[in-house]
Amino acid sequence: MNSDKKILICDKIEPEGVDLLKESGFTILENPTITSEELLEVISEVHVIVVRSRTKITESVINSGKILELICRPGTGIDNIDSSTAEKNNIPVFTSVEASTNAVAELTISLAVSLARSIPLADRSLKDNQWIKNSILGSELRGKTFGIIGLGRIGRRTGILASALEMKVIGFEKQIVDKDYLSKYNVTQVELNELLSKSDFISLHLPATPETIHMIGKEQFELMKNTSFLINTARGQLIVESDLFDALSNNKIAGAALDVFETEPPTNTDLIKLKNLIATPHIGAQIIEAQKEASIVIAQKIINFYLENKTTE
C-alpha cells in the first residue's frame, strides 16, 4: 500500500505534484526549510526524498537512510546529490529534465538576442537619461553560426530554435546523435575545436562531471573569434571564470551571458560587473509552466516506481 510509503519533500515544489502524490495514497512530509542536521535526524524514517538544489544529499545522508528507496530532484542537475553513493546503495536518482527543456532553450536564445543587440546596455542607458542610439550597433542572428556544446535534450531543443531563426547550427557531442534530428534541422556535428573556432555564438549544454568541469578556459578562448559570444545556461563549473574575465576584459571574445556560476550566489563580482557580460540568477527553469511540469513529472515517476516497478526514468 502506498500509505506505507513516506515521502519527504525538502524544498518547495509546486502543489500539483504534491496533490498527485497525496491522491495516490502516499504519506507526505513537507519541510521546505529543513537543515542538514534535521535531515540526518529524519532520513531513516522515509522511503523517498524530494529535493531541489538547496538541500544536499551527502554520503552520510544516504547511508543514514535505512529504508530509503528513491531520491528525486525536480529539475535537471544533480550536483547536490552524491549519485555514486546512491548507486552503491541501489537507490535510483530521478530528475525531471524533460520539464525544463524548452524553458532553458528559450532563455538561451533570449540571451543570444540580448548579446547581439546589446539590450541590457540599451535599457540601462535610457534609465540613466542617456540616448545612445548611435552608439549601439548590433547584428542579426540570421546567417550566423550557432555552436552547441552538448546535444542532449536542451541542446537539441536549442538547435531547433536557432535553426528556426535561420542560423547555421553546428554541435559537439561525443555520443552518436540521431541522424534524423541532424538532417531535419540542418545541424552539423563537428569536433570541439572546430566548433570553437567557427561559431559566432557558443552555447554550453553539458552536466558538470570530472570530464567537463573547467572545459572552457584560456586555451579554448584563444580558439574563439574575437567577435564571438559565449552563453552558459548549463553549469557554472564548465567555465574557468578567471579565464573568462581575462577574455572579456581583453576583448578576446565580444561578450558572454551567464545564467549559472561556479558558486551560487556568485562571489566573483568583478566578472559580473563587466559591461560585456550579461548575468542572470539561474533562472533557466524559473517559469510557471516548467515549475508545474517538474512537480508533476517527478510525482508521476514516483508513482510509476511503486505501481509499475519502473526503476529507471
Whether the Cβ atoms of residue 16 and residue 300 lie closer than 8 Å to each other: no
Tally the C-alpha atoms within 13 A of residue 79's C-alpha that lie toward its C-beta: 20
pTM > 0.95: no
**So which residues are the catalytic ones?**
235, 264, 282
What is the distance between the alpha carbons of residues 21 and 19, in angstroms, rounded to a whole number? Answer: 5
Q: Domains in the chain, start-ordered, CATH in brackets? A: 2-95+289-307 (3.40.50.720), 99-279 (3.40.50.720)
Q: Which residue has the cell 545522508?
A: 61
Q: By the 8 A CB rule, do 120 and 278 touch?
A: yes
Mean pLDDT value across residues 229-257:
98
Where helices occur in the chain by DSSP H, the ranges are: 15-23, 36-42, 59-64, 83-88, 97-117, 119-127, 153-164, 179-184, 192-198, 218-223, 241-249, 269-272, 288-307
70-126, pLDDT tens digit by residue?
999 998 878 899 999 999 999 999 999 889 999 999 999 999 999 999 999 999 999
Cβ(176)–Cβ(189) below 8 Å: no
Dump pLDDT digits (tens) for 156-192. Answer: 999 999 999 999 999 999 998 999 999 999 999 999 9
